[in-house]
Amino acid sequence: MAITEEEFLLIEKRFEAWNENFMVSCVQLGNFTKDDVLDHIKARDEVGQKIAEIQLYYLKKLKERK
């Protein structure tokens, strides 16, 4: 899935707003703190790409519920 720069920025802002004490866990990727997630999102690396895909999927499904 190709993620646009605008979508990456949306996901980045979304994670910046989250509580400092949260952890993200993904069976395939491992466990990440908020700072870890933001580092990967900003780096646009493989882990950041996967986290962004998961978040975009969630947001699209949430929108469909309305």
**Position 42 pLDDT exceeds 90:** yes
The mean pLDDT value for 37-42 works out to 96
Q: What is the mean pLDDT of the chain?
A: 93
- 3-state DSSP call for residue 25? strand
Are the C-beta atoms of 65 and 21 separated by less than 8 Å? Answer: no
Would you kindly state where each structural domain of the chain is located, as residue ranges? Answer: 5-64
Angle of helix 46-64 relative to helix 34-43, nearest 10 degrees?
Answer: 100
Are the C-beta atoms of 23 and 33 separated by less than 8 Å? Answer: yes
**Is 66 or 53 the better-scoring residue by pLDDT?**
53
